[in-house]
Amino acid sequence: NAGVTQTPKFQVLKTGQSMTLQCAQDMNHEYMSWYRQDPGMGLRLIHYSVGAGITDQGEVPNGYNVSRSTTEDFPLRLLSAAPSQTSVYFCASVGRGAGNTIYFGEGSWLTVV
């Protein structure tokens, strides 16, 4: 089925550990992005990419790295996890055109202890 696939769905990390949240889409979308959702804060943009080899920072990029080596994949890396990174993470993708439907992954629940 077409869509955005996020893995893992749940993860518990210890402070200082590293991990990668995976995001893949099979719709040949150029634009992909990562958001974090915290209570009372809505969804905040972490990083985004407008195509393979192109990434840029969003509203809250500190502590996160991204890369876009292929159109399909847009992984989010936490190099040294901190309790402040406990959140729900969403990956989203959309085709060219601002009015196009935006597809979201199902979310990844991350807890840093």
Partner 1 sequence: AQTVTQSQPEMSVQEAETVTLSCTYDTSESDYYLFWYKQPPSRQMILVIRQEAYKQQNATENRFSVNFQKAAKSFSLKISDSQLGDAAMYFCAYRRAGANSKLTFGKGITLSVRP
Q: Which member of 25, 33, 55, 85 binds partner 1 (CB under 8 A)?
A: 33
Beta-carbon contacts of 87 under 8 Å, excluding residues fewer than 6 positions away, are 36, 37, 38, 110
Q: Does residue 64 belong to the site contacting partner 1 (CB under 8 A)?
A: no
Which of 3/63 has CB closer to partner 1?
3
Among 48, 41, 38, residue whose Cα is nearest residue 84: 38
Q: Are 100 and 1 in contact (CB under 8 A)?
A: no
- The answer to whether 107 contacts partner 1 (rule: CB under 8 A) is yes
Q: Which residues contribute to the site for partner 1 (CB under 8 A)? A: 30-31, 33, 35, 37, 40-45, 48, 50-51, 58, 88, 90, 92, 94, 96-99, 101-102, 104, 106-107
